[in-house]
Chains A and B, each alone.
Chain A
């Protein structure tokens, strides 16, 4: 399998949107990434479920960014932010061909803040 790092990096950086990453130590930085809803093939997964302490929804997103931005060290305490929404990093993966990193991917979960809830 041939490395496509150059092409992938070129297109991800050209088409990606700015995602702000805030890590738990107070560090902050922007990356270019393509983000899309994880369950775009199954809309029923977005149906809200009512629990005794409020509504929940499985709003997961996938993020793909080029090898220029190393996101592999991020964990669940770090926050990604775009479109005025906050996301928790659930999982990160590094995609390699041989020893060469092609791109990074991550799974994000939307964060609903404490202030949005318990208005009863």
Chain B
């Protein structure tokens, strides 16, 4: 399964959570201006670390762990930040992550919001593309 497919699946699972319908879910680093005042929580999804190994010597299939990070940004006025973190984690549990870690909640004066990083580790085979006929 391609890495982009895994990211898309991750985003789909977040979108499927009805309690997160008020949050904007995006892929990280959009090349557009951030709204000066965030009106709702924004979840930016991106690939974290990847560590994979060949399943067999000379084989083409890689297997290992990869991380997907969900960066949650909330305006200062959102009070229920902790429940959003719980919902994000809960939305991914049916994909059986092998580890979940959540960073400390911080504030960013530059972005004028609170943020936290939820990191999900999965074990799976990885496909980085390429021509099958080669």
Contact = CB atoms under 8 A, between A and B. Distances in A.
Interface of A: 48-57, 88, 109-114, 116-120
B111 A56 contact: yes
A56 B34 contact: yes
B30 A88 contact: no
Contacts of B110: 49, 51, 56
Contact of B37 (A50, A88, A120): A88
A82 to B, nearest CB: 16
Interface residues of B, number: 21
B71 interface: yes
B34 A88 contact: no
B36 interface: yes
B30 A112 contact: no
B46 A52 contact: yes
B31 A114 contact: no
B35 interface: yes
A117 B46 contact: no
A55 B28 CA distance: 11
A54 B36 CA distance: 10
A116 B44 contact: no
A55 B37 contact: no
A111 B28 CA distance: 21
A88 B36 CA distance: 9
B31 A55 contact: yes
A111 B32 contact: no
Given A51-B111, A53-B26, A53-B111, A120 B31 contact: yes
A53 B37 contact: no
The 5 A-B pairs with the shortest beta carbon distances in the complex, nearest first, are A54-B34, A120-B30, A112-B33, A52-B44, A52-B28
Nearest to A87: B36
A113 B34 CA distance: 8
24 contacts: A49-B110, A50-B31, A51-B34, A52-B28, A52-B46, A53-B44, A53-B71, A54-B30, A54-B32, A54-B35, A57-B33, A110-B36, A111-B36, A112-B33, A112-B34, A112-B36, A113-B35, A116-B33, A117-B33, A117-B35, A119-B30, A120-B27, A120-B30, A120-B31
